[in-house]
Amino acid sequence: MSYDNEGFRHRSLPDQVADHIVVLIAKGEISAGDRLYENELCKTLGVSRIPVREALRLLQAQGVVRTEPNRGSFVRHHGSDETTEMLRIRLTVERLALRRAVPAIRKDPANLRPLRRALEQMRAPNENRVAACQADLEFHQSIVRLSESATLMTVWEMLARGILVFLAQERDAYYDNDSNIRDHEVLLEAIEVGKLSVLDDLIEDHILRIYLTRQSQAQALSPAP
């Protein structure tokens, strides 16, 4: 297994290593069940074992990897029930964040700039699916930041890497790019005018309802065992 240096950002060293691993999973270069070799990560990234081990512990806490005693760390497989649970928690976080973010935007419309910037990045032609998914994630993370809630931000950060993997690996089965961009345009319009009741339905459709509906359709089409 080989590793490249793509995906590093200006964060703590363990966070950088964790981001690097997640990008490789999102790109499909590491698959569910694959072992993550500390020696290879240390050698390729030019870091010691300490930040690599801290990164793996972080990813274990966030549900991205699992660690087996005397065997090492492996990429976790998430079943449909676990994915649904993650999306339900995400929905709760974003609904609560919107209730705090909308008044902040009414007070200062300049607070919309990060959302507009993320949407422009989503619209830009880009064959790098992970970069497109990161722009999608940045749109929603900006909402949580605008809530100015340390609790919501902490929960969001626990979910974010798993959400990125989900978006990159599974979105083609449930979403098409044009519809996804349109969803974000509609969300941005509703945020701008401050329609919280409308936003509740829009965010549920966007995060959860479409996934559950298309998952049910796929299961209905699957041959019986």
Q: Which two tokens stand for residue 171?
A: 């979105």
Q: Which two tokens stand for residue 46?
A: 């030019």
pLDDT for 15: 93
pLDDT for 182: 93
Q: Which two tokens stand for residue 151?
A: 């609790």
pLDDT for 81: 87
pLDDT for 180: 87
Strands 65-68 and 35-36: unpaired
Rounded distance between C-alpha atoms, residue 131 and residue 122, angstroms: 9
Alpha-helix runs per DSSP H in the chain? 13-27, 38-45, 49-61, 80-107, 113-123, 129-146, 150-174, 177-193, 196-204, 210-221
| pTM summary value | 0.85
CATH superfamily name and code, 80-221: GntR ligand-binding domain-like (1.20.120.530)
CATH second-level architecture of 13-75?
Orthogonal Bundle (1.10)
pLDDT for 130: 86
pLDDT for 223: 62
List the chain residues with pLDDT less than 50. Answer: 1-9
* CB-based contacts of 43-50 (< 8 A; 24+ apart in sequence): 44/2, 44/3, 44/4, 44/5, 45/3, 45/5, 45/17, 45/20, 47/13, 47/17
pLDDT for 224: 57
pLDDT for 70: 86
